[in-house]
Amino acid sequence: MKPYLIIAATENAISDDKAKGHLKIDHADENDLVSDLLRAAQSAWEEDSGRILLDSTWEQAFEYWPIGCFELDRYPVSAITSIKYTGEDGAEQTLSSSIYLLSAQPYRKPRVYLKNAQTWPSVTLQVGSPIKVRFKAGDATVATIPQDILAAIKVKLGDLYADRDGMAEIRTRSGQLIGSERVWQWATRRHRIEA
């Protein structure tokens, strides 16, 4: 299953003031709108690339114990907070952190492996997605976010602001993407998580 956000970062990649400057807004009437669109643009970046920019907590659910390892769909992961599972009796249990380890490499899907001579629990799991891996992701500070990522977020912010009523159409020239979409795709491809 797709990871979902548990605790958001305390700040955005771009400040509200810089976002307003980028959009050439010099009044306070649209402060809330700009703030909402900025969060949406940053979320779109993280969803499309898999790369989490600022320290936040995520959770990803799984249906069964893996044969090899759990692969997490967000990076970079700095720590596994917990692995919880629910048995068919409905009781939730927490897996001891002494039996697994995190393998996290730049631009690769982080993986959670069993340590040597360890096994996943043999309990019968509840139907659905009974295993939940909670993790900390994001390694940048606002000052260290690469400029191409900031540019892509600003492009997406501009597109969202221009199309805030949902009526704009994306135009193409000879089948090629317009400039803003090219910037977005170039940056997300460059920073996308790999298997």
| Confidence at residue 48, expressed as pLDDT on a 0 to 100 scale | 87
Q: What stretch of H or E contains 17?
A: helix 16-23
Q: Specify the higher pLDDT residue, 171 or 151.
A: 151
Q: Specify the higher pLDDT residue, 140 or 130.
A: 130
| Confidence at residue 171, expressed as pLDDT on a 0 to 100 scale | 41
| Confidence at residue 27, expressed as pLDDT on a 0 to 100 scale | 87
Round to the nearest angstrom and report the end-to-end CA distance of the chain: 15
Report the share of the chain in percent with pLDDT over 70.
89
- For residues 146 and 140, give the distance between their C-alpha atoms in angstroms, rounded to a whole number: 9
| Confidence at residue 99, expressed as pLDDT on a 0 to 100 scale | 96
| Confidence at residue 174, expressed as pLDDT on a 0 to 100 scale | 42
Contact 130, 168 (CB under 8 A): no
pLDDT confidence tier of residue 178, bands split at 50, 70 and 90: low
| Confidence at residue 188, expressed as pLDDT on a 0 to 100 scale | 75
pTM above 0.75, yes or no: yes
Q: Assess whether pLDDT exceeds 50 at residue 172.
A: no
Report the share of the chain in percent with pLDDT over 90.
64
Task: Pick left, alpha or beta for residue 50 (phi over 0 → left; psi -120 to 50 → alpha; otherwise beta).
Answer: left
For helices 179-191 and 31-49, angle between their N-to-C axes, nearest 10 degrees: 50
Query: In 3-state terms, what secondary structure has residue 124?
Result: coil
| Confidence at residue 173, expressed as pLDDT on a 0 to 100 scale | 42
The per-residue pLDDT for range 82-135, each reduced to its tens digit, is 999 999 999 999 999 999 999 998 778 999 999 999 999 999 999 999 999 999
Contact 57, 74 (CB under 8 A): no
Omega of the bond prior to 76 within 30 degrees of 0, cis?
yes
| Confidence at residue 179, expressed as pLDDT on a 0 to 100 scale | 57
What does the pLDDT average to over 42-62? 93
| Confidence at residue 180, expressed as pLDDT on a 0 to 100 scale | 63
| Confidence at residue 38, expressed as pLDDT on a 0 to 100 scale | 93
Distances from the Cα of 122 to the Cα of 18, 64, 79, 82, 101, angstroms:
53, 11, 25, 18, 19
Q: Specify the higher pLDDT residue, 187 or 41.
A: 41
